Each structure stands twice: as C-alpha cells, then as structure tokens.
C-alpha cells in the first residue's frame, strides 16, 4: 500500500501523488503526475513537523528554500534536474516539483558494483563536471555533491539534483559559521566553515570520482571527527595505487581535484572537464579497438588469460603488451616443412618426391583450409559481454592488489563479493583460498601453508615427440 503524504494529502498544486520514492532530512519525495498535462514529476514535500530552535531559525529555513528555488528554477541543463514548480502555503515553500529521472542514484549503483568500470566512471564524472560548469557560470554553488545527489537515467545520462539545498549537521540550518554538507564529501573549507567557492564543488566531485574508480572513500573513518580530520589533513594515496586498472593520468586529475588548498585545484569545472573528456575518449577508443579486433580476428590463436572469462569469447593480444609489430602469443611463425625421412636419400629422388607431393596436395590443402574457415562460426562479442569482462578484471585486480599489500581480510571480502556475483569463478575461488591461508599464517605463526612440491629424485617425463607424419597432418589442417 502506498504511504500517504503528510496529513493524508494526495494533491499538491496540480500534482497528484502516486507513490513514495525517497526520504530526506527535510521531507519525503513522491512520484506524482500533473493532473492536466499528465507529466510525471518528483515532488519533494517539506515536512510540516520540521523542528526549529526558534522563530528566527524557522524563518531562515524557509527563506533559504525560497532563495534556492529561485536560483534552481533558472537552471536549464541536460545534466541538472529541472525544477518545475515551487508550491506555497502561508507564503512559505511547502513542496518542490522537479523533473522525474527514471533510473537510479549513483549511490545505488555503487552498492551493486565497486569500483565502476573505467569508461563508465569517466562518463559519469564528465557529466557531473558539465552540470557544475553550467551552474557555476550561473552563480550557483551546489555545496552537497555526493552519490545520493547524482541520478543516472535508464538511458545512461547523469543528472545532478538537490542544488543548493544543503543538509544541516547541527541544530542551526543556515547560521553563520555553520557546518553544511555531507562529511565524507565535504571540502576542507566547508569543514573549517570558511568561505566556499565553486572550487569546493570540484573537491566534492573529486571525492566522488575517487570512490567510483577505487571502490573506497578517500577520507573514510569510523567516527565523524575522524572523517573531518582526514578531509582537512589526510592526502589519500593515488587512486591508481588502490586500483591498478586506473591510468596514471586519470589518477593525477583526481589528485588535483582533491588538493587541500582551493588555489591548487582546477581553476574551473570546465578546465577539469577538458582533461576528463580527453582521457575518456582515449579509454573509449582503446575499448572499441579491442572489441573490433576481437570480432574480426576470431581465427587467431589466443594466449591463456588468468582472469575469469567465458571461454568462447574472442580475445586478442594487446598492442601495449606485445609491442608494435610483435607476434601475438600462440601464433606459429615457423612454417618450414620438416623432412619426411631421416635416412639419407639421393637428392634427385628426394626433390622429385617432394615436388610430386606438393603438386598433388596443394589443391587439397587449399580446399581443406577454405572449408575449415567457412565452417567456423563468427565469434561476436556484445558490449554487455565486454563490460562484464572488464568488470571482472577490475574486481580481481583490485583483490590481488590488496593481497599484494598484505590486506588479506579486505581481499577475502572482495573475493567473496566477486564469488557471490560470479559463483562459477574457479580462479577467484582458488585465489580466495590462498588469501585465506595467508591470513591464517599471518595471525597464527605456527600454522603452515601447504605448498605442492616434487618428490625427491622424481623426474618429470619428457613430452612424447610427435612423429613427422603427425606434424605433417597438422600442417595440412592449418593447425
């Protein structure tokens, strides 16, 4: 049953409430429909039971709502949620009707996947910076950029919501020197209650980027005082050190956004957007190149990859790993035909037999190879498969990085999350068991990690050498 709005009302202005979709510190958010034109909207109803210290506190609260409603009503941008209408009762704002975004918040997205795939994270970051650049150019500072205030539509577009409606952390809502924002995403100047500029939003955007790319919050701590101390004093490690998948240039962009002094950050959101767009284009081009190469080179023998993949998916050796002009792993480069017999024979007899064999089998070999190629199904990789494969690689690399740093408990938790989503992952399960053994070894020095060793004086049997006839048959088949 749909929860009723405050006081049992189901009509606000021309908007009829359908269902509740969220709850904030100053009220609830409902999905509503305009009774005359049928347009859907997200209606934020201000809680009439909002508690205030005194009448001055109450007046300041509603003045701020009115001021921000006027500012946000003037913002029209694809990456900003549009304010449709502000409703009034007794000359104070009672509800705000905004654009309804069908999708999910970035906060919900991060709950399902941490970290995000690199192309997706850069795309979201670019949209955030586009919205902030427009808002800053129109004199509006958000002051509360965080995953909960970033919406991702079903079409993949990112929009910033709740402009200018900062969340109070103490009893005063907008008093002088008050602390406004969300601790994990606040800038140092917000923590110190000094003057806030557009570069404060850039710091918060950098925190969001760090979390998307690494899966962790850069200033996280068990208690509020620890978080605020870290925001002001702690320089987090480069995001590329936490997640090796992130390129060094991208990590440097995030580090510049997280500079403690506003003067050391980007001068504007537009300047940061320029660098992010450049890196996003490079990452997207590399991903498209790899996908196209895999789709059009499905007959090339491929190297074995440790990461979890569906065996039928085509893959190609990365030019960055093999070098320009290098031969991909697993491709035969020696096509010489070995002699068919060992014992010496006259040269005339040898070459006569060889030429006859080549002449008689040349057409057959060509026909066989042609038919084999025609019968091989074209391997096709979809964008969804490529995204899943990339996500698997990132999660495994992140877990391995934690193991390499001796953080076995966190690595085990990362592996458990991976296996919960991909229970068929044999490699992840093996690595998880190894991390568990390392954790037990570190906590109990008397325990031992079992290592498979060869028995003394036990020799490995050399592989059986294939006969010349077997090698010739494989050459004819093109193997």
Report all structural domains of the chain as residue ranges with CATH numbers, in order of start: 6-99 (3.30.200.20), 104-170+178-285 (1.10.510.10), 383-443 (no CATH)
Question: Regarding predicted confidence, which is higher, 295 or 13?
Answer: 13
Q: What is the pLDDT of residue 166?
A: 40
Q: How confident is the model at residue 104 (pLDDT cuts 50, 70, 90)?
A: very high
Q: What is the pLDDT of residue 77?
A: 95
Q: What is the pLDDT of residue 19?
A: 93
Q: What is the pLDDT of residues 282-300, one digit of tens each?
A: 887 777 766 666 665 554 5
Average confidence (pLDDT) over 445-457: 46
Q: Is this structure's pTM higher than 0.95?
A: no
Average confidence (pLDDT) over 63-88: 86
Q: How confident is the model at residue 321 (pLDDT cuts 50, 70, 90)?
A: very low
Instruction: Please provide the average confidence, as pLDDT, over all residues in the chain.
Output: 78
Q: Which two tokens stand for residue 355?
A: 């030429």
- Written in H, E and C, the secondary structure of the chain is CCCCCHHHCCEECCEEEEEEEEECCCEEEEEEEECCCCCEEEEEEECCCCCCCCHHHHHHHHHHHHHHHHHHHCCCCCCECCEEEEEEECCEEEEEEEECCCEEEHHHHHHHCCCCCHHHHHHHHHHHHHHHHHHHHCCCCCCCCCHHHEEEECCCCEEECCCCCCCECCCCCCCCCCCECCHHHCCHHHHCCCCCCHHHHHHHHHHHHHHHHHCCCCCCCCCHHHHHHHHHHCCCCCHHHHCCCCCHHHHHHHHHHCCCCHHHCCCCHHHHHHHHHHHHHHHHHHHHHHHHHHHHCCCCCCCCCCCCCCCCCCCCCCHHHHCCCCCCCCCCCCCCCCCCCCCCCCHHHHHHHHHHHHHHHHHHHHHHHHHHHHHCCCCCCCHHHHHHHHHHHHHHHHHHHHHHCCCHHHHHHHHHHHHHHCCCCHHHHHHHHHHHHHHHHHHCCCCCCCCCCCCCCCCCCCCCCCCHHHHHHHHHHCC
Average confidence (pLDDT) over 147-170: 78
Question: Regarding predicted confidence, which is higher, 308 or 432?
Answer: 432
Average confidence (pLDDT) over 201-227: 96
Name the residue among 370, 454, 440 with its Cα closest to residue 412: 440
The catalytic residues are 144
């Amino acid at each position: 049953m749909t929860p009723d709005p405050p006081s049992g009302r189901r009509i606000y202005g021309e908007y009829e409430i359908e269902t509740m979709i969220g709850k904030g510190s100053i009220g609830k958010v409902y999905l509503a429909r305009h009774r005359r034109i049928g347009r859907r909207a997200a209606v934020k109803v201000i809680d009439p039971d909002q508690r205030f210290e005194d009448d001055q506190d109450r007046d300041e609260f509603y003045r701020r709502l009115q001021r921000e409603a006027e500012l946000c009503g003037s913002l029209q941008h694809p990456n900003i949620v549009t304010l449709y209408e502000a409703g009034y009762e007794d000359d104070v704002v009672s509800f705000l009707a905004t654009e309804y975004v069908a999708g999910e918040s970035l906060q919900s997205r991060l709950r399902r996947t941490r970290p995000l795939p690199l192309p997706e994270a850069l795309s979201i970051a670019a949209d955030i910076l586009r919205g902030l650049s427009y808002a800053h150019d129109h004199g509006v500072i958000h002051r509360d950029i965080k995953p909960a205030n970033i919406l991702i539509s079903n079409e993949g577009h990112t929009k910033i919501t709740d402009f200018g409606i900062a969340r109070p952390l103490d009893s005063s809502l907008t008093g002088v020197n008050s602390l406004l924002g969300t601790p994990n995403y606040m800038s140092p100047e917000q923590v110190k209650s000094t003057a806030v500029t557009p570069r404060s939003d850039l710091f918060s955007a950098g925190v969001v980027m760090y979390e998307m790319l690494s899966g962790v919050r850069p200033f996280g701590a068990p208690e509020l005082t620890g978080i605020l101390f870290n925001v002001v004093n702690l320089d987090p490690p480069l995001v590329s050190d936490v997640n090796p998948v992130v390129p060094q240039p991208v990590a440097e962009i995030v580090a510049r956004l997280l500079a403690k002094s506003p003067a050391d950050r980007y001068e504007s959101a537009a300047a940061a957007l320029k660098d992010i767009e450049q890196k996003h284009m490079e990452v997207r081009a590399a991903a498209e190149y790899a996908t196209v190469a895999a789709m059009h080179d499905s007959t090339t023998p491929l190297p074995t990859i440790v990461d979890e993949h569906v065996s039928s998916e085509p893959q190609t050796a990365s030019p960055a790993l093999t070098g320009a002009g290098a031969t991909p792993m697993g491709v035969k480069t020696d096509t010489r035909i070995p002699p068919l017999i060992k014992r010496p024979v006259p040269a005339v007899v040898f070459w006569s037999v060889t030429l006859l064999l080549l002449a008689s089998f040349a057409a057959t070999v060509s026909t066989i190879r042609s038919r084999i190629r025609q019968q091989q199904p074209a391997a096709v990789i979809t964008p969804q498969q490529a995204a899943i494969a990339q996500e698997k690689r990132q999660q495994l690399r992140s877990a391995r990085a934690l193991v390499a740093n001796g953080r076995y408990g966190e690595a085990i938790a990362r592996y458990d999350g991976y296996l919960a989503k991909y229970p068929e992952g044999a490699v992840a399960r093996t690595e998880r068991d190894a991390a568990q053994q390392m954790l037990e070894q570190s906590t109990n020095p008397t325990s031992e990690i079992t290592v498979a060793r060869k028995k003394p004086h036990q020799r490995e049997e050399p592989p059986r050498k294939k006969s010349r006839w077997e090698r010739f048959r494989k050459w004819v088949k093109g193997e």
